[in-house]
Amino acid sequence: MKSGTTSLYHDLTFAGIRHVPVTRPRKEFHFFDKKLLRHPTPKELIQSTFLSYMENCSGLDAPNARRSVLADFTPASLRQVPRPFDYVPRMHFSHNWDEDISMPWRLRYIYGDERASKVQFAILLREPLSQMQSAWYSAAASNFTHMCLTCKSPSFQASLRSVVAGLESTPKELTEWVWVTMYGRQIEHWISQFPASQFLVIPWKYYIHGDKDAVCQELSSRL
């Protein structure tokens, strides 16, 4: 989040890619971090529940395209992996935080090994401090009712000093605000379930100020 994902969403949907669920137009699916947690689903029913939000690809929606493509544009997907064991949670995480969740594992289970090889992932990364600052001001504008509940403080500087002190304590304390930017740990878990070749990692500044067309063409070639 706060790394250009909404811009990517608009660019790709304008180009013909549809977002899920197809029956309710919205940018973010949140199947794994909200739907499954609010409505616990037996393992054997996860696949059918997931597919119930899809639509048969008749081709009528894009008659001139070679394929009809669906995409999930939920920014929170990247961090839906087990929380680091060498940190302890500080303050409260959001209501949908689950330390045992592994979206990569569940996604691979749903698709199966053969079909999982066809899934493509795009990850937009922003320099961590810049991302945290953007998230803080967005949260402050709503009186910290969304975006980062764990960064509430009179100022961005005060929040930053607080989390740095927690990271330097023993044991190290982790907030959701910081966890969002721990990209390396998150990607490490994802590539334990899917080959690295299925991921396109896009630096935020390159997408916003660089060759955006090249990004879209690369995604198109992968699909």
Band the pLDDT of 100: cuts 50, 70, 90.
low
Question: Alpha-carbon distance 143 to 221, whole Å?
Answer: 43
Q: Could you report the per-residue pLDDT of 190-219, keeping only the tens digit for each?
A: 999 999 999 999 999 999 898 888 988 898
Residue 186's CB: how many other CB atoms inside 10 A? 20
Burial annotation 200-213 (CB, 10 A radius, 16+ → b, else e): eebbbeebeeeebe
DSSP string, 146-160: SS-GGG-SSSHHHHH
For the four alpha carbons of 119, 124, 128 and 132, in that order, the dihedral sign comes to negative
Burial annotation 23-33 (CB, 10 A radius, 16+ → b, else e): eeeeebbbbbb
Q: Which residues contact 6 (CB under 8 A, 6 or more apart)?
A: 27
Reported CATH class of domain 5-222: alpha beta
Nearest to 22 by CA among 63, 77, 62: 62
Q: Is 127 left (phi over 0), alpha (psi -120 to 50) or beta?
A: beta
Band the pLDDT of 220: cuts 50, 70, 90.
confident
Domain boundaries, the chain: 5-222
Question: Alpha-carbon distance 223 to 204, whole Å?
Answer: 22
Question: Alpha-carbon distance 88 to 211, whole Å?
Answer: 40
Q: Could you report the per-residue pLDDT of 115-143, keeping only the tens digit for each?
A: 999 999 999 999 999 999 999 999 999 99
The answer on pLDDT for 59 being more than 70 is no
Q: What is the pTM of this model?
A: 0.86
